[in-house]
Amino acid sequence: MDTKLNFADGERLHTYMKKAEERAKYFIGYPIAQDFDYSELYPLLKFPLNNIGDPLVESTYDLNSRSLEQEVLQFFSALFNAPQNNWWGYVTNGGSEGNLYSLYVARELYPNGIVYYSEATHYSVQKNIQLLNLRSIVISTQENGEMDYDDLRQMVQMHRDQPVIILANIGTTMTEAKDDLQKIQAILKQMAIKNHYIHCDAALAGTYSALLDLKPGFDFTYGADSIAISGHKFIGSPIPCGMVLVKKNYKERIGKAIPYIGTVDTTITGSRNGHSPVFLWYAIKKLGREGLRQRALDCLNMAAYAVNQLNEIGVEAWRNPSALTIVFPEPSLALRQRWQIATEAGRSHIICMPGVTKTQIDQFVDELEAELIGNTDLIAQEALA
């Protein structure tokens, strides 16, 4: 393709690229890492890499990154203590797809099951439940965003004749609260619920929690039947992606051989982009487990710094134990838009992901302080800077 953009379209693209570069400087409100450098992989953008079908089964579509995807899956299976020789997974388009796949598996196991999930659960879960035509019950939450276990016990008691499908949050959307699998397991045991399935939505906190062995634990040894994470959050990727792991004996209820692609159709989507597994593989190999662990510690230190700086100016900021998410009363709309800060029910948050710097935190705190004391001149200066 030798043709070039005309002048107007070239200017439009240049303007957009400059805006993206500028807005990336003020991006502290969503859980996305920005410190990655995949320039060594840019030549691969010339190729239509497609990991269509099952990542563990070869295909006649040989322009893929299946071998690297398998190494990514092996890394996470070890990280999450998946049962040896009884796990399966694939690189997804993001955490939401991982949740959908896991609920799909749970439905095939227990067609009459009821999904229990807290009101702090990611918005995609309700959509996934509707797509799968599953019955569900919303559980109330504690003040910190964690599931209310008394409410869960009561709801399970009321429907104890039905299989239980638990969707546990390992880092809720707004407060990064983590549901406790040991407490959930105790309730299921107390209620004598034999038919149950536990899925962990660990989109943000899963990777770094496992690297640091944070409590409460949530991996397969704690009772998880499936785990979904996002790859573009803690690890970082220019393309949204994720990974889902599930017990292999459960997964085998799904999928069939497709002659056209010469492999097995076991994933949610047919075609899957083959570039994301390469990004994840590259980051894992370049940083190593110890490098990723230090990455997590650096983020936690930055989160502690941010809470302290906000408290110093009189803002009632807080975070859950070992969380990267700092919660505080919502500031003005102008400040929320400038720093791209998520807000719900009067509470906002910033998230100290890899790439968030002290300079950014200090600038945000200065602007928030100026807003609180009514220093409109400083606010205007910062907006123009």
pTM (two decimals): 0.94
CATH of range 7-37+289-384; options 3.50.50.60, 3.90.1150.10, 3.40.930.10, 3.40.50.2020: 3.90.1150.10
DSSP state of 140: P
**pLDDT of res. 338:** 97
Q: How many CB atoms lie within 10 A of CB 285?
A: 13
Q: How many CB atoms lie within 10 A of CB 182?
A: 12
Nearest Cα to 149, choosing from 182, 195, 194, 196? 182
CATH architecture of 41-284: 3-Layer(aba) Sandwich (3.40)
DSSP state of 26: G
DSSP state of 235: I
Mean pLDDT of 268-294: 96
pLDDT digits (tens, 9 = 90+) for 352-370: 999 999 999 999 999 999 9
Contact 180, 172 (CB under 8 A): no
Averaged pLDDT score across all residues of the chain: 94
Comma-separated ranges of CATH 3.90.1150.10 domains in the chain = 7-37+289-384
pLDDT at 44 over 90: yes
pLDDT at 378 over 80: no
Comma-separated ranges of CATH 3.40.640.10 domains in the chain = 41-284
122 Cβ contact partners less than 8 Å away, ≥ 6 residues apart? 95, 96, 99, 169, 172, 173, 201, 203
Q: How many CB atoms lie within 10 A of CB 258?
A: 15
Report helix, strand or coil for 29.
Answer: coil
Nearest Cα to 165, choosing from 103, 212, 214? 103
Query: 2 pLDDT band (50/70/90 cuts)?
Result: low
Mean pLDDT of 35-42: 97
